[in-house]
Amino acid sequence: MHRSLIIPIFAISLALIGSAFTIDKVSSERTELRQKEGIGVVMPSAVARIAALEFKGILADVIFSKAMTYYGGKIIRQEKLIDEEWNWIYRNMDVATDLDPYFLDPYYFGAMTLAWDANKVKESNILLEKAFKYRYWDWTIPFYLGFNHFFFLQDNEKAAYYLMEGTKRPGGSGGLLPTLAARLSYQGKRTENAIVFLQEILNKTEDENIRWIYERRLNALKGILFLERAAEIYQNRLKKPPAKLDELIAKGIIQEIPQDPYGGKFYIDKDGSIKTTSELR
């Protein structure tokens, strides 16, 4: 071999080994760094609108999918999101829908997770109100708004208003919307109404990742309804409300207390209503 070749070949092989070794280290360092980075700052809408030039739609897609991926990663690792992270998700959805105010996915994802997982009904409603304004043809938006008002805010009047607005939109007059709006004007039967509502939402949901959120809630509500009916029977039979759920079993009204899918335990509150220690969270 020519002598002048020896040094370059030696250098190249050394560097190859070195680079193979270091890239491994770099990737593990990067993973650690990115985990510490966690959530980043959110670009303000005004800046994003200017910086995106003509690619506002794409920037909206990117911001949305980044937040969704972050949420997904947390769910897969079975970690709970902290308040700060939820605020970050909300702001991202807000910016994404400022860039493209007709884009359904950030409204949908943001409103669902914020209301159901984060207990941030106010933020969820702000997003949905924006969607209500821009997606003027879409009856599902007032439907979700109505649900939020009925279920989380317990404001039946407003919920009925949104549902009626939904029936005015194409495609909204069929299905359960008009019936639901009518049912809401009756007080009471909260749990039953919620189950009907949720069943309708589930029928409209194809995404498996979203479905399980609803299915879990639906199962919990079915458990509550089951216990409520049992308590009613107890009341009719013994002319006094049960103090504990165990009394329902003792009197032979039910065989066993259903399990709370959220991992809590059902109990009877002082006012006689059925609650759970998990608070459905």
In the complex, which residues of this chain contact other proteins (CB under 8 A)?
A: 44, 46, 49-50, 53-58, 61, 64-65, 68, 100, 102-105, 108-109, 135, 137-140, 171, 207, 210
Name the nearest CA neighbour of 153 among 120, 130, 187: 120
User: C-beta of 159: minimal distance to other proteins in Å?
Assistant: 20
Buried b (16+ CB within 10 A) or exposed e, 124-156: bbbbbebbbebbeebbbbbbbbbbbbbbbeebb
- Asked if 237 and 251 touch (Cβ cutoff 8 Å), the reply is yes
User: C-beta of 69: minimal distance to other proteins in Å?
Assistant: 8
User: C-beta of 210: minimal distance to other proteins in Å?
Assistant: 8
User: C-beta of 271: minimal distance to other proteins in Å?
Assistant: 39
- Of residues 90 and 234, the one with the C-beta less far from other proteins: 90
Token pair belonging to 96:
């994404």
Question: CA neighbours within 13 Å on the CB side: how many for 116?
Answer: 19
The strand pairing partners of 266, in sequence order, are 276
- Of residues 64 and 234, the one with the C-beta less far from other proteins: 64
User: C-beta of 144: minimal distance to other proteins in Å?
Assistant: 12
